[in-house]
A and B are shown apart, each in its own frame.
Chain A
Amino acid sequence: MKLVNRAGRTTTERARHRRCAETGSSVPSRANDDRPGGDRAPRAPDDTHAPDEVTAAADPASWVDEHGGYLFRFALHRVGCVETAEDLVQETFLAALRSARSFEGRSSFRTWLTGVLRHKIVDRMRQGQPAADGTIDAFERWSEGLFKDNGKWRRGPQAWRPLPGNDDERTELTKAIENCLGKLPPQTAEMFVLREQHDVPADRLADSLGITTAHLWVRLHRARLALRKCLESSWFQEDRR
């Protein structure tokens, strides 16, 4: 069976021989100062009213700290692979250095850099290098596999025992949720938590992650399918105790 995702790419022919695994939950978070919902949330690259300075810093080495994190996340959400994203950001800076004169100040410097990065990402995909990390592909295939070819459930949801009434059980279920989220691709888990626990509006979340809202809906959908399924076996099954 051949699956075509929303971007029109077939998932069967992508990325097998790659060793670019996410390190995910074991990495301590440094995201807190720059997460979606902050008042300096990164803007969509097309947005000409981006909030940062409309100047290129004199010292290119300072670009790394100033714009590197933003560009890295932008790339990571598209290529799904830390090493590839780092490479792309470096290539972007070098290309920017070579052609800094073509930056005309009509948009912010960051917006311009993001445009350069976009081209790098497209080039990379054209070269036939894997566009997405194996974990995302595998996850996509897994969630598709919950349904038969005719769209019906392979095994429908089972009956659940009630939600916990006391604090101990609540803590236990929260742990189970965290555990199940840890099995998702990290980007997917992150967007799920921001959406569901922090109630970040979907359009703002998509904007800050640099993906389309349509893509976000699909990813959240897969996260819900997976979380429900995982919790069913780890916590909710009625005959568990």
Chain B
Amino acid sequence: MSHSPRSCRRATFLISTSLDRPLTRRERLGLRIHLIVCPACRRYRKQVRRLRAFIAGIPRGGLPVSFLKTQFSPEARDRMIAALQAAEDAPGG
């Protein structure tokens, strides 16, 4: 990853990260200088902030909390229990 202050890749990371933690002085300064010369990243920051504000205002339940399968399948559960019981019953187990 290019860490050059001219890098938009780096600047967009800092723009995003500033929403999750305070930037260090050095990061803040680097970003500020980049934004002075880069209209594309200024626009990026504006849009990302607008999106954040909009999403924060969506009522609870307006978006699904989970897109992720957070529990294993019942089949996997049965398999695990069977495997544990078999291992337990095994001689010397």
Give the B-binding residues of A (Cβ under 8 A). Answer: 4, 22-25, 27, 29-32, 34-35, 60-61, 63-65, 68-69, 72-73, 76, 82, 85-86, 89-90, 93-94, 97-98, 144, 146-147, 149-153, 156-157, 159-160, 163, 173-174, 177-178, 181-182, 184, 186-187, 189-190, 193-199, 202, 213, 216-218, 220-221, 224-225, 227-228, 231, 236
Contact = CB atoms under 8 A, between A and B. Distances in A.
Nearest to B12: A225
B65 interface: yes
B36 interface: no
Nearest to B77: A64
Contacts of B24: none
Closest 7 CB pairs of A and B: A151-B7, A156-B40, A221-B16, A151-B2, A189-B67, A186-B67, A31-B70
Interface residues of B, number: 53
Contacts of B85: 60-61
Given A64-B77, A72-B72, A93-B83, A194 B44 contact: no
B69 A68 contact: no
B79 to A, nearest CB: 7
A152 B5 CA distance: 11
Interface in B45-68: 47-48, 50-52, 54-56, 58, 60, 62-68
A14 to B, nearest CB: 17
A203 B77 CA distance: 31
Chain B contact residues: helix, strand, loop or mixed = helix
Contacts of B2: 149-151
A61 to B, nearest CB: 5
Contact of B67 (A35, A73, A181, A227): A181
Contacts of B66: 29, 31-32, 35, 186, 190
A25 B60 CA distance: 18
A40 B40 CA distance: 43
Interface of A, secondary structure class, is helix
B87 A97 contact: yes
B84 A190 contact: no
A85 B19 CA distance: 31
The interface centre, meaning the residue of A25, A153, A177, A178 with most chain B CB atoms within 10 A of its CB, is: A153
B21 A69 contact: no
Q: Which of B7, B56, B80 has its CB near the most chain A CB atoms (within 10 A)?
A: B80
Given A64-B81, A173-B54, A220-B16, A89 B72 contact: yes
A72 B19 CA distance: 29
A221 B17 contact: yes
A90 B80 contact: yes
Contact of A213 (B8, B21, B62, B87): B21
Contacts of A213: 21
A29 B44 contact: no
A235 B17 CA distance: 25
Contact of A197 (B19, B63, B88): B63
15 contacts: A24-B68, A29-B70, A68-B77, A86-B73, A151-B6, A151-B7, A153-B41, A160-B47, A186-B66, A189-B67, A193-B65, A217-B20, A220-B19, A227-B51, A231-B51
